[in-house]
Amino acid sequence: MPSRAPLPEGGGTEVTVIGYGELVTNTNVLPVPSGTRRIETLDVVRGLAIVGTLGTNIWVFSHPWGLLGMLTSPVLPGESAAAASVQSTLMALTQGKFLALLCLTFGVGLAIQRASAERARRPWPGRYLVRAALLLLDGVVNYILIAEFDVLMGYAVTAAVVSFLLLTRPRAQRRMIVVFAALHVALISAIVLALAAVPGVEATGSPLSGSSPYATESFLGLAMFRVENAAIFRAEPVLITFLSLALFLAGAAVLRTGVFTTEGAALRRRLMIAGAVAAPVDLALALAGTSGGLLLERYVVAPVVALGILGLVCEICLRRGIDGWVARRLTEIGRVALSAYLLQNLLGGALFYGWGLGWGETLQAWRLPVTVTAFALITALVATSAHLWLRRFSTGPVEWLWRAAAGGRPAPKG
């Protein structure tokens, strides 16, 4: 008899796992791990992506001028050469990679929901568009009230577009991945060439002067600041439109080709090789510190590294299982990913902004150790919150509201 399993991404619907673990739909066979109620490896990957985004964003929180400061002068004036080098290295380890990894997991979840809808003979995209609209609303709230570097708004729009693209045949989707990736690389390359043609563009940016709104404004004052500067703060989601489309479709493709199953060993090996080749190039571009190099690193090379991380994590989980302490914590974060993402951003603001403890302004002389400590503290708080919440509930609070608002069946306690 087929076993019934809840959907790994989103709620209120189920997938049917048949035989050794193939999800049968009308047009595709999507391999999923047999005998599991969720694709738990996907939860691990998603949890790692959430923690990794904090590793990138924590430097934005700790800069006295926030994202504006990071765009002009990531390393604060007066920092020692050793501290600047360590900061640049730590930033390089997360820059762009976990943004891309999160895109891939969104694509995987979207493909699973589409397959589940087909299996249940429900129209697609159908009510998923309501979920995408609610995700967009979540992103707007996160952007205005919490963090100007929100990714949810861009993901919501991309997910809505990709939900229609998933109606095409797998071969057409593979071609679209290539086309979107090529368009993205061409766009970034054109920007890099334009920067190289401008004399003096690599000169160190002048530190912003005056009082930083992140230090002086209230919670609502910062919200208005984000609204007033939306053109600047919302530029990245527009810039990476083609990349996001390619990565969402790539997530669906790697699910279809078995990256989470024992049958996908060859695919995982290819992904790991690609990531291993790209990693040193990524680090070299990041440490070079040029504007063009940073663009190529974050938006061209880092996504390849993300594919390698996906393959590596899946391989480790399949070989060693997910019963280890770290894997369990990442699984829990991955199960409440949306709630965890919003919580870690809120905690970052509470530690570094003027409406909170104000560490960004008062402790900038010790920025490096303070930032690392804050990352560890927030990660511990998010992991602990996820663990305690899931002891009583089966889904995160924001996920529960999201499902209920979309008309899905809320998950029961347990």
pLDDT at 265: 96
Mean pLDDT on 17-34: 36
Mean pLDDT of 19-33: 37
List pLDDT tens digits, range 257-277.
Answer: 999 999 999 999 999 999 999
Return mean pLDDT, the chain.
87
- Cα–Cα distance for residue pair 147/31, rounded to 1 Å: 37
Res 177: pLDDT: 98
Mean pLDDT, rounded, for 376-381: 98
Categorize the per-residue pLDDT at 408 as very low, low, confident or very high, splitting at 50, 70 and 90.
Answer: low
pLDDT surpasses 60 at 9: no
Instruction: Compute the distance between CA of residue 248 and CA of residue 246 in angstroms, rounded to an integer.
Output: 6
Give pLDDT tens digits for 137-188: 999 999 999 999 999 999 999 999 999 999 999 999 999 999 999 999 999 9
Which tokens hold the place of 74? 């990531």
Residue 28: how many CB atoms within 10 A of its CB?
Answer: 18
State pTM to two decimals. 0.88
Q: Nearest to residue 45, comparing CAs of 108, 136, 96, 111?
A: 108
pLDDT at 409 over 60: no
| pLDDT greater than 80 at residue 365 | yes
**d(C-alpha 119, C-alpha 16), whole Å:** 8
Domain boundaries, the chain: 3-198+209-406
pLDDT score at 405: 84
Q: What is the mean pLDDT of residues 28-52?
A: 73
Proportion of the chain above pLDDT 70, given as a percent: 87
pLDDT digits (tens, 9 = 90+) for 273-322: 999 999 999 999 999 878 889 999 999 999 999 999 999 999 999 999 99
Compute the Cα dihedral for 80, 86, 87, 88 and give only its sign: positive
Q: Is the pLDDT of residue 115 over 60?
A: yes
> What pLDDT score does 38 carry?
64
d(CA 303, CA 312): 14
Q: Name the band, by pLDDT with cuts 50, 70 and 90, for residue 75.
A: confident
Q: How confident is the model at residue 15 (pLDDT cuts 50, 70, 90)?
A: very low
Q: What is the pLDDT of residue 208?
A: 73
Q: How far is CA 152 from CA 1, 19, 203, 243, in A?
A: 39, 36, 33, 15
pLDDT above 50 for 95: yes
Tell me how far apart the alpha carbons of residues 65 and 80 are, in angstroms, rounded to a whole number.
19
Residue 341 has pLDDT above 90, yes or no: yes
Tokens of 394: 């089966």
Res. 79 pLDDT band, cuts 50 70 90: confident
Q: In b/e form, how buried is each residue of 164-186, taking b as 16+ CB within 10 angstroms?
A: ebbeeeeeebeebbeebbeebbe
Which one of 10-19, 64-73, 132-141 scores highest in mean pLDDT?
A: 132-141
Is residue 95 a contact partner of residue 305, using CB atoms and an 8 Å limit? no
Q: Which residue has the tokens 């992103």?
A: 139
Question: What is the per-residue burial (b if ≥16 Cβ within 10 Å, else e) of 343-365?
Answer: bbbbbbbbbbbbbeebbbbebbe
Phi, psi of 23 (to 5 degrees): -85, 110
Q: Is the peptide bond before 31 cis (omega within 30 degrees of 0)?
A: no
pLDDT of residue 406: 75
pLDDT band at 193 (very low <50, low <70, confident <90, very high): very high
